């Protein structure tokens, strides 16, 4: 019963966002006039702004109370590559953008290593407010913000989805998987009847703490580059 109620709430949140823009989109069994593949940059920016407003309206949230501001996104909404991290750290909270601290510096180097320019991709996090003392988000927090995250994915509609760290994995695949076993594997993630090619890899912050794991991330990066070339994504 709890699962059914949660799904119903998720659906209502999603439909509320779409209804505001007087555009019919693909969702469950509703009639459609156009699909996410046809969204213009203007459409996406409007939907993203409304999604951001809904997150700003969240109340009774320890993450929000602890933070200076929302950290929503960075990059190109029209990109075919979307990266999802865990949550903002101190630098991100101060600047209002994801991956701008030490982990962001490493992320930039990782992308450059496979000839990807950061401004050409799209980046967000599972939770949009900084957890106290940079702790890992709690399960209840992950579940709460994953509603918005799934909407975020559908709006961007990437061809490749890169989940960095266990929190991103748990938000979209559940609590039972272990990233040490699942990283480096392509998976199909279904979000509101749309399928996304998804790969799990270590979070840059984890690599800063465990530099011996970088060799595995390098293998993952090469797999991502290969997929980009296979799909003929201009990046």
| Per-residue pLDDT at 99 | 98
CATH number at residue 25: 3.40.470.10
Kindly report, residue by residue over 124-152, the tens digit of the pLDDT.
999 999 999 999 999 999 999 999 999 99
18-22 contact pairs (CB < 8 A, 24+): 18/47, 20/50, 21/46, 21/47, 21/50
Name every residue whose Cβ is closer than 8 Å to that of residue 203 and which is 6 or more positions away in sequence: 85, 86, 103, 164, 165, 166, 167, 168
pLDDT > 60? residue 17: no
pTM for the full predicted model: 0.85
Q: Is residue 235, in this structure, part of any structural domain at all? A: no
Q: How confident is the model at residue 235 (pLDDT cuts 50, 70, 90)?
A: confident
| Per-residue pLDDT at 25 | 35
Q: Is residue 79, in this structure, part of any structural domain at all? A: yes
With beta carbons less than 8 A apart as the criterion, state whether 70 and 222 touch: no
Interval 83-95 mean pLDDT: 97
Interval 88-105 mean pLDDT: 97
3 state SS for the chain: CHHHHHHHHHHHHHHHHHHCCCCCCCCCCCCCCCCHHHCCHHHHHHHHHHHHHHHHCCCCCHHHHHCCCCCCCEECCCCCEEEEECCCCHHHHHHCCCCCCHHHHHHHHHHHHCCCCHHHCEEEECCCCCCHHHCCCCHHHHHHHHHHHHHHHHHHCCCEEEEECHHHHHHHHCCCCCHHHHCCCEEEEEECCEEEEEEEECCHHHHHHCHHHHHHHHHHHHHHHHHHHHCCCCC
CA dihedral 4, 139, 47, 74 (to 10 degrees): -160
pLDDT > 50? residue 29: no
Kindly report, residue by residue over 202-228, the tens digit of the pLDDT.
999 999 999 999 999 999 999 999 999
CA–CA distance, 235 with 233 (Å, rounded to integer): 6
Write phi, then psi, for 64 (nearest 5 degrees). -65, -40
The DSSP bridge pattern shows strands 160-164 and 186-191 to be: unpaired
The residue ranking higher by pLDDT, 91 or 18, is 91
Domain holding 181, by residue range, is 2-230
Q: What percent of the chain has pLDDT over 90?
A: 82
Interval 30-57 mean pLDDT: 81
The DSSP bridge pattern shows strands 194-201 and 74-75 to be: unpaired
Calculate the CA 79 to chain-centre distance.
13
pLDDT > 90? residue 190: yes
| Per-residue pLDDT at 3 | 38
Q: What percent of the chain has pLDDT over 70?
A: 84
Based on the structure, what is the number of domains in the chain? Answer: 1
**How many Cα atoms within 13 Å fall on the side-chain side of residue 138?**
7
Interval 150-167 mean pLDDT: 98
Q: How far is residue 192 from each of residues 153, 170, 175, measured CA to CA in Å?
A: 10, 17, 20
pLDDT > 70? residue 27: no
Q: Is residue 57, in this structure, part of any structural domain at all? A: yes
Q: Is residue 191, in this structure, part of any structural domain at all? A: yes
With beta carbons less than 8 A apart as the criterion, state whether 114 and 165 touch: no
pLDDT > 60? residue 19: no
């Amino acid at each position: 019963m709890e699962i059914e109620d949660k799904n119903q709430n998720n659906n209502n949140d999603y439909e509320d966002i779409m209804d505001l823009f007087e555009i019919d989109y693909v969702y469950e069994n509703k009639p459609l006039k156009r699909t996410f593949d046809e969204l213009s940059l203007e459409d996406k920016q409007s939907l993203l702004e409304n999604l951001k407003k809904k997150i700003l309206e969240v109340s009774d949230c320890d993450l929000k109370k602890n933070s200076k501001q929302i950290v929503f996104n960075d990059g190109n909404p029209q990109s075919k590559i979307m990266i999802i991290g865990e949550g903002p750290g101190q630098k991100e909270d101060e600047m209002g953008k994801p991956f701008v601290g030490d982990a962001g510096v490493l992320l930039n180097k990782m992308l450059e290593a496979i000839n990807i320019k950061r401004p050409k991709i799209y980046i967000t996090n599972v939770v949009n407010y900084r957890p106290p003392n940079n702790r890992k988000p709690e399960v209840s927090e992950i579940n709460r913000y994953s509603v918005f995250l799934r909407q975020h994915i559908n709006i961007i509609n990437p061809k490749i989805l890169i989940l960095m760290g266990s929190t991103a994995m748990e938000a979209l695949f559940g609590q039972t998987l272990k990233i040490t076993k699942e990283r480096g594997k392509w998976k199909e993630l279904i979000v509101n009847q749309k399928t996304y090619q998804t790969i799990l890899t270590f979070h840059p912050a984890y690599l800063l703490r465990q530099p011996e794991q970088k060799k595995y991330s390098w293998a993952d990066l090469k797999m991502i580059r290969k997929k980009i070339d296979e799909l003929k994504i201009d990046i």
